[in-house]
Amino acid sequence: MTSQNAVLYDVRDRKAYLTLNRPERLNAITQSMGEELSAAVARANADSDVRVIIVQGAGRSFSSGYDLKIYAEAGVDNQGPEWDPIVDYAQMSANTNNFFSLWRSLKPTIAKVHGHAVAGGSDIALSCDIIIMAEDAQIGYMPARVWGCPTTAMWVYRLGAEKAKRMLLTGDTISGTQAAEWGLVLEAVPSSTLDEAVEALADRMSTVPSNQLAMQKLMVNQAYDNMGLQSTQTLATLFDGITRHSPEGQWFMRFAQTHGFHAATKWRDSGGLIPNGGGPLPSDEDIADR
């Protein structure tokens, strides 16, 4: 096994294992993690011994999303009042393309989700061809409440309009059990049998010739392309930049910088009021009550 810092790469029995490897931060996403993930996908595609790719997270979670200690609390990559949307789009589309290397991979990709696959972490999971979750794992896109739009746009393509709106108009999370019932993921299993379920599916795929796997996958993906997946992602990526530089997005970043990102995300995710146009931050008393 070799380490590429934020992503581990290993090959066993015709399967490549890509492990998100920032367990101390619940595998929170950095720019380098996305780049290393894409490089690992390319490496697996170039390896004739690999037929299936499994994406998993080290430690307690699959991924908690972008590392807000870096991006919100410290304000890294925030452009301030002189926002250039094309600079922002170039950066975020690069991240989206890194995640979507899993979808575009000629070899099938399986996400093994335990703990949480939330915010940007859900983007990574939903970029895989197939997702198997632990029943008690959580998936959702909480930044839909403020400071984010899912750039991969896979919620609507996997769920349809109404359920996608149900998720993105609330920022709620759902369990693996509910995600499977809704058809967002293939299957939810007890956490104790998650490894076994993923291995069984991957082993079944791994006996099919690589060219057969590629052609079946390309055929299905083409249907999504015909439905406008690429243009939807372009719009979503532009919207993501707007959400982070809107008055409300700047309010959220000030909240994180003033009180820490834990307090900011707790306020956002638990239903604290986010005022239109920004406005004053909540008082210390309101934050403590929340």
pLDDT, residue 192, reads 98
* CB 130, CB 186: distance < 8 Å: yes
Supply 150's token pair: 């899912």
pLDDT, residue 82, reads 82
pLDDT, residue 80, reads 64
Weakly modelled stretches of the chain, pLDDT under 70? 1-4, 74-81
pLDDT, residue 77, reads 60
Assign 12 to helix, strand or coil: strand
How many CB atoms are closer than 10 A to CB 196?
Answer: 11
How far is Cα 47 from Cα 102, in angstroms, rounded to an integer? Answer: 15
How many CB atoms are closer than 10 A to CB 254?
Answer: 16
Letter string b/e over residues 158-174, b meaning 16 or more CB atoms within 10 A of that residue's CB: bbeeebbeebbeebbbb
Supply 85's token pair: 């949307």
Instruction: Name the strand (E) or helix (H) holding 94.
Output: helix 85-104
pLDDT, residue 1, reads 45
Query: Quick check: pTM over 0.85?
Result: yes
Dmax (CA) of the chain: 62
Helix, strand, coil shares of the chain, percent, nearest 5, are 55, 15, 30
Which domains can be identified in the chain, with CATH numbers? 2-245 (3.90.226.10)
How far is Cα 32 from Cα 18, in angstroms, rounded to an integer? Answer: 14
pLDDT, residue 203, reads 98
pLDDT, residue 3, reads 46
Which residue, 30, 54, 55, 64, is CA-closest to 137? 64
Q: Phi and psi at residue 212, in whole multiples of 5°? A: -65, -45
